Amino acid sequence: MPVLALKRYFFQLIRCAFIFIMILGCSNDDDGNGNIDTDNDTFLDINDNCPSVANEDQLDTDNDGLGDACDDDDDNDGVLDINDNCSLTSNPLQGDADNDGLGNACDNDDDNDGILDENDNCPLMANPLQEDADNDGIGDACDDNTILPQFPCENGFANGHPCSGFDLMSNIPIDVLGGDGAEGNDSWGWTDPQTGKEYALVGTTTNSAFVDISDPSNPILLGTLATATVNSLWRDIKVYNDHAFIVSEAPGHGMQVFDLTRLRNVTNPPETFTADANYNGFGSAHNIVINEDSGFAYAVGSDTFSGGPHFVNIQNPTIPVAAGGYASDAYSHDAQVVTYNGPDSDYIGREILIGSNENVVVIVDVTDKANPVQISTVDYSNIGYTHQGWFTENMEYFLLGDEIDEINFGINSRTIVFDFTDLDDPQFHMEYLGPTAAIDHNGYVVDNTFYVANYTAGLRAIDISGLDSGVMTETGFFDTYIPNDNTAFNGAWNVYPFFQSGNILVSDIEGGLFILRPSN
């Protein structure tokens, strides 16, 4: 090779080597430490969860360290994204109720009926009209326990009973519950914490009756517990820790204790039960009140403590223990006792008794059973007989019924409302007059509804959401006493509206047990 050609060859070789070195010097590994950004997404490969595929957001749905941009199973459920009907939400079973190609796990309308799952009473079964015959919150399309009323409220009547907004699920006559010649009085309810079954506990002049209402259209009388001594017009029942506590104005009756879990094992109803315990610290009592938070019972209108509340420790239900009493405000006809959690900060956590004491309402701190202290009293105009009352759920107001003001003053059914924001200084707030002259008896509050047993006018349901503005509005009723709505002591004695199912009990003097539900 000529010398000149050889020189040119080496010159070209050196030139190429120089250019190669220059290219390396301009690469993205400026520091020579291997910090490369292969996909040019501003994340160095060493920090990039997809180093070869640009993904500036670095999303990693399944947190497996592999970014979604290069992860062929983003939700890590074992189903490749290309085949996964919810590629970003784990759903290994690939359920798709409405067959729309979108899995249930990420479909906000699983049954494709136009109702979002969060509002749908059957989210996995199409039911665009949301029918719910038994009003239990589960749509008919997917409810395997649709219970229909024996007598729906139609055109203002249910089996001859005037009604509005409530269906008659069923009725057990008083002679079935208490025998020939019996009359009804108080009632309460129990929900079995193991099975969820609901039971009605019904007082009569002769006994206490226990009824399985888990199918409210076909209730079963499981058995009865006879009065402890003799018959009486007055019997009262409350529940604590799966036990019923029963008092009566029958002389020498005391307090019967009955273990309600025995109802689970009844195989041949109706049975004749015996009490599991008897407390004889008093003889007769008009009523019994229980604070389930503290485990104390309060017998009122008894033949002890001048008729004031008689305290009983029932924390061990079958071994009740006397715990004192309060006689300073004389006879108490009825009461409510709560562990206070209302607007008056002075009494938060204290055990407060509100007594309906014939002609006055008394507020007593009973936290220290050895030293109960009166906080205040309050009265009102046109006092007939201060009978019974109940707190609103925020404990701001107290709703009171006067049993004979309708008789004495010729007015319609009246509810007196007190402002209890300051327990030391309770104030009259308003009064509500119902549409009939029937006598009001026992009333209870659930959410923003006041349910009251209104004797001859039956159950009345009153919206109290407008109490702050002085407004109460009747929203429904069921008249258990068909003959009339006179000012007389016939008809509905008590109402129990606390079941989660929506079942409502009404115990009626002449009619026995009525099981109601709000109409659809």
* SS3 per-residue string spanning 432-452: EECCCCCCCCCEEEECCEEEE
The per-residue pLDDT for 22 is 47
Around Cβ 398, how many Cβ atoms within 10 Å?
23
Closest CA to 241 of 352, 324, 318: 318
The per-residue pLDDT for 454 is 98
The Cα 60–Cα 150 span in angstroms is 57
CA 174 to chain centre: 29
Is the previous residue joined to 270 through a cis bond, with omega within 30 degrees of 0? yes
The Cα 356–Cα 298 span in angstroms is 13
The topology under which CATH files domain 166-518 is: Methylamine Dehydrogenase; Chain H (2.130.10)
Around Cβ 512, how many Cβ atoms within 10 Å?
23
Tell me the residue type at 497. P
Distances (CA, A) of 94 to 26, 61, 100, 105, 240: 50, 18, 12, 8, 47
Joined tokens for residue 51 = 């180093």
The Cα 206–Cα 227 span in angstroms is 6
β-strand 271-273 against 220-226: which pairing, if any? parallel
Task: Determine the 3-state secondary structure of 105 from DSSP.
Answer: helix
The Cα 113–Cα 124 span in angstroms is 9
The Cα 474–Cα 455 span in angstroms is 16
Decide: 411 and 382 in contact? Cβ < 8 Å: yes
The per-residue pLDDT for 6 is 55
The Cα 182–Cα 175 span in angstroms is 6
Around Cβ 33, how many Cβ atoms within 10 Å?
8
The per-residue pLDDT for 286 is 98
Question: Is the sign of the CA dihedral 137, 139, 143, 147 positive or negative?
Answer: positive
pLDDT in tens, 111-167: 888 999 999 988 988 889 998 876 778 887 887 667 899 999 999 999 999 999 999
Q: Flag residues of the chain having pLDDT under 50.
A: 20-32
pTM for the whole thing? 0.76
The Cα 419–Cα 398 span in angstroms is 7
The per-residue pLDDT for 11 is 57
The Cα 307–Cα 328 span in angstroms is 10
The per-residue pLDDT for 27 is 45
The per-residue pLDDT for 147 is 85
Rama region for 480: left / alpha / beta (φ>0; ψ in -120 to 50; rest): alpha
Joined tokens for residue 37 = 């950004």
The residue count for the chain: 520
Question: Is the sign of the CA dihedral 261, 262, 264, 265 positive or negative?
Answer: positive
Closest CA to 182 of 497, 509, 505: 509
Domain boundaries, the chain: 1-35, 166-518
- Across 223-249, b (16+ Cβ under 10 Å) vs e yields bbbebbeebbebbbbbbbebbbbbbbb
Tell me the residue type at 479. D
